[in-house]
Structure 1
Amino acid sequence: MLKGAQNKLEYYLKNNKRYAVNIVSKLIEIPTVNPPGKNYEEMVCFLEKECRKLGLATKKYVTPKDVLNKFGVRYGSKRVSLVADLDAGAGKTFHINSHYDVVPATDKWITDPFAAVIKGTKIYGRGSEDMKGNIASVLFAIKALKKCGIRPRINIQLSFTPDEEIGGRTGFGYLAGMGFVKADYAMSEGCSGNHVSMGNKGVLWAEVEILGKSAHGSTPHKGVNSFERMNMLVNEFGKLKNKISKRKTRHNMQDGVSKSATFVMGGFLEGGIKVNVVPGAVKFSIDRRLIPEENISAAKKEIEAVIKKFNARHKDSKVSIRFISQEEPAISGKDDVFFKVVSDAVKIATGKYANFSVMPGATDMRYFMWKGIPSLGYSASGGKKWHSDDEFVYISSLIKTANVYALVMKDLA
């Protein structure tokens, strides 16, 4: 890397931080709450104007109704995505994705969640850390490159997409699946500081139903108590849970401790209609998180084997399962050059060596990772209050994150 260019970028970013502060404030003040998905068109209109000010060519995409219906999205705004390109005339493209939707806010905030309140070194507001701060940093990075006269040697493509907070299938998942975005390398939200995410666990959600037989509470022998059968089944699943929890990924984890596969029961629980009725039906949920070394097919078979064995032993009740969501684990395609460029950028911006790790949760980068595209996650940080009351982002982190993205854009080729 050229020291002169590095110093110019750092100087510009530190002395023009008002741009990033203004952008993130305006983004927060457009309440793109999901569900149901509000103000999406207003958000894309604002982002398109900002991208064009930076000299980017833009194009909008609307997710069609049949795709929305397929994934149960029947409410809120049009699902509008924006793609913006900076053509360097290169053979390769570096793609940066950002989602602009945010989760709802409670009435427990100390500030107005959609007013972008600045207190000292922090900007409070829903989405400040997840992930409107990152949008501001990425735009700031491009502005810095232009103002410093630095021309990237790789094409830069940005995407701003909805619905990440409900799985991303009707946002970035749609764009990636249709080939409307392209990438040889990609980045999106993820870890922060000197931590860079390179993958995420998989998820398998299921609803289990136990059918027994209702009866009057005074004559329980005439029925089959589905609640008691559920307890027996939960004990059997507990054995599987113990087996699963011993599996640990070889990869570093974002929090340093979530290396195990997990199996959680009872997040959702339903059953019984009245105190004096033997319950004839009970339902409960399973939330299974897969480490990168596992796969959905094998995880399903393990669960189904427990149910099959249970049904064979208890013929007077019936257990069934419905898998309601499934996402394979995702891990970045390996590219030594890309990883080194990002690692060097993080070291320059933060003063610390980069630590690559896997996230327990998922981001929209998985849609590129599943295609084998080298994809990493890096974000502006606050108090790690994603989805919580009083979410904020540090102004200093907006600057450092912009520096990381600017350096990566400068040095990738």
Structure 2
Amino acid sequence: MERDLGIVRGMTPAAYIDAHEYDLTTLLRGLVSIPTVNPPGENYDAITARLVKELAAAGLKSRRLAVPAGLLKKTLPVEQHGFPRWNVLGFRKARGAKKTIHFNAHYDVVPVSGNWAQGDAFSGAVVKGWQHGRGTADMKGSIASLLMALRALRASGVEPLMNVEVSFTADEETDSALGAGWVVEHAPISPDYAVVMEGGEGNRVCCGHNGVVWLEVTVHGRAAHGSQPHKGVNAFEKMAALVRELDVHKEELAGRTFTTPEGKTMRPTLNVGGVFAQGPGGKINTVPALASFSIDRRVVAVETVVEAERELRAFLAAAAKRIPDCRISVAKVSDNHPCYHAPEHPFFAAMAATVTRVRKKAAVFNVSTGFNDMHFFAHHLKIPTLGYGPGGEDCHAVDERASVKELVRSAKIYAELLTTFAG
């Protein structure tokens, strides 16, 4: 096999990817071994420095952009001010290309708990066709697959048909304000199309996702001695009654439907109490003066976060009035907008055709129940945006893992899209 300046003559990008499966898993192992846990935002310096080098090795001009310290302090809670934020950008100009495609993935991961089968949640170990570790599925596996696709194009000497932009961004596991949100507002990018590398996997191509509204509800009572509960107002009991009232709102939401292009029926959901707490001074022999709980309201594609929040706040206020001595305050934690575009643009057809060819199974279009960063590109930049990546199992849970076969297939799909669609 002739080799010239690193170019492997006669080898297709897909063949190169097949031949370098070990390099792909090694690359992912290196990324997983850097614990970019958010919150608080650990090791962002190390991971972004590594990603800049990986993009350069794959033939892109690359750099990282620091989020201004003033904005960081304005946006993040004080305990995170010592954790800087960076976003990584890469660019490759293709000969004669008129259009630019942007690939996006986040590099932060959620915290770790529990006992992992491989012992170390950041090992990246490959066992029986699965690569294990926090971030393998969500979503450093996507980063590794894209980097391998870009390596394959460079090594095989195959020119992409579009200019290639890449962003690896911070803070998606919180609210993306200093990650993809900052990039679309402030970074020097100008894409015509975008692929956010999650939301769709297997033969499913993502054309939208749910949004979310996160609220914290605090119930205010009055402390008293545990032997004389009648002298106090038990915030915990009032909270329990309020939570029971929310069952009515859950039933109302269950009656609303949205049908996806693949024929799946989606409904808004309400998850209560992912975070709950008592106030200061809580003790077994006191009447609790404060109790708080969280609400995760998933917003389907045909709703808006503004209306969902307004409706939920109104329901909480009315429910509290129905409960004697129930006084509440409601604080906004965060939100993330839903996203949906009917997959009618040729860009969607091109990705579906690519997925079908590589996987030898007809592609379908899905809408993700979770939120991701698609809406920043679709709504803020108003460009055709889809989601696709290798995915995996047990995201955000113990023993998170990605299929090595899916990592390889996703790399092939990215490479083929770049060599078959010119915009």
User: Secondary structure, in 3 states, of the residue corresponding to 2:294?
Assistant: strand
User: Secondary structure, in 3 states, of the residue corresponding to 2:259?
Assistant: coil
Per-residue deviation, residues 236-276 of structure 1 (Å, max 9, x unmatched): 3221221012112122589x57x110112222333473445
For 2:323 and 2:128, how far apart are their aligned partners in 1?
Answer: 63
CA contact (8 A) 2:109 2:173 kept: yes
1:205/1:150 Cα in 2 relative to 1: closer, same or farther (>3 Å)?
Answer: same
Q: Trace 1:122-141 onto structure 2 (pairs within 5 A).
A: 122-141=130-149
Per-residue deviation, residues 157-199 of structure 1 (Å, max 9, x unmatched): 0111222222222222211122433321111222211112222
For 2:352 and 2:116, how far apart are their aligned partners in 1?
Answer: 36
Letter in 1 for 2:413: V
Per-residue deviation, residues 369-394 of structure 1 (Å, max 9, x unmatched): 22232211111244x12223333322
2:385 corresponds to which residue?
A: 375
Q: Match for 2:258 among 237, 249, 258?
A: 249
User: Secondary structure, in 3 states, of the residue corresponding to 2:372?
Assistant: coil
1:41 corresponds to which residue?
A: 45
For 2:391 and 2:288, how far apart are their aligned partners in 1?
Answer: 48
Residue 417 of structure 2 corresponds to residue 408 of structure 1: yes
For 1:212 and 1:374, how far apart are their aligned partners in 2?
Answer: 50
What is the TM-score when the length of structure 2 is the normalising length?
A: 0.86
2:5 corresponds to which residue?
A: none
CA contact (8 A) 1:331 1:370 kept: no
Residue 337 of structure 2 corresponds to residue 328 of structure 1: yes
Q: Match for 1:170 among 175, 178, 190?
A: 178
Residue 92 of structure 2 corresponds to residue 92 of structure 1: no
CA contact (8 A) 2:343 2:365 kept: no
Give the alignment's Cα RMSD to 1 decimal. 2.7
- Displacement after TM superposition at 1:339 (Å): 0.6
Letter in 1 for 2:124: A
Per-residue deviation, residues 3-53 of structure 1 (Å, max 9, x unmatched): xxx993332322232332332222223332333323322222222222222
Letter in 2 for 1:264: N
Q: Match for 1:148 among 156, 172, 181?
A: 156
1:57 corresponds to which residue?
A: 61
Q: Match for 1:364 among 373, 382, 392?
A: 373
1:3 corresponds to which residue?
A: none
For 2:407 and 2:326, how far apart are their aligned partners in 1?
Answer: 57
Q: Match for 2:213 among 198, 204, 210?
A: 204
For 1:276 and 1:107, how far apart are their aligned partners in 2?
Answer: 32
For 1:280 and 1:107, how far apart are their aligned partners in 2?
Answer: 32
1:29/1:212 Cα in 2 relative to 1: closer, same or farther (>3 Å)?
Answer: closer
- Displacement after TM superposition at 1:411 (Å): 2.1
Which deviates the most, 65-74 or 305-314?
A: 305-314
Letter in 2 for 1:262: T
CA contact (8 A) 2:175 2:334 kept: no
1:289 corresponds to which residue?
A: 298
CA contact (8 A) 2:215 2:331 kept: yes
CA contact (8 A) 2:35 2:43 kept: yes
1:154/1:32 Cα in 2 relative to 1: closer, same or farther (>3 Å)?
Answer: same
What is the TM-score when the length of structure 1 is the normalising length?
A: 0.88
Residue 245 of structure 2 corresponds to residue 236 of structure 1: yes
Number of corresponding residues = 405
Q: Match for 2:84 among 75, 78, 86?
A: 78
2:123 corresponds to which residue?
A: 115
Q: Match for 2:314 among 300, 305, 324?
A: 305
CA contact (8 A) 1:332 1:373 kept: no
Residue 276 of structure 2 corresponds to residue 269 of structure 1: yes
- Displacement after TM superposition at 1:221 (Å): 4.5
CA contact (8 A) 2:139 2:391 kept: no
User: Secondary structure, in 3 states, of the residue corresponding to 2:217?
Assistant: strand
2:6 corresponds to which residue?
A: none
1:343 corresponds to which residue?
A: 352
- Displacement after TM superposition at 1:108 (Å): 1.6
Letter in 1 for 2:275: F
- Displacement after TM superposition at 1:292 (Å): 0.8
Q: Trace 1:185-200 onto structure 2 (pairs within 5 A).
A: 185-190=193-198, 191-200=200-209
User: Secondary structure, in 3 states, of the residue corresponding to 1:31?
Assistant: coil
2:30 corresponds to which residue?
A: 26
CA contact (8 A) 1:189 1:363 kept: no
CA contact (8 A) 1:233 1:310 kept: yes
Per-residue deviation, residues 106-159 of structure 1 (Å, max 9, x unmatched): 462232333332334232233222222211211221222233332222111011
Which deviates the most, 94-103 or 47-56?
A: 47-56
Structure 1 unaligned regions, length at least 5: 1-5
1:280/1:253 Cα in 2 relative to 1: closer, same or farther (>3 Å)?
Answer: farther
Which deviates the most, 221-230 or 297-306?
A: 221-230
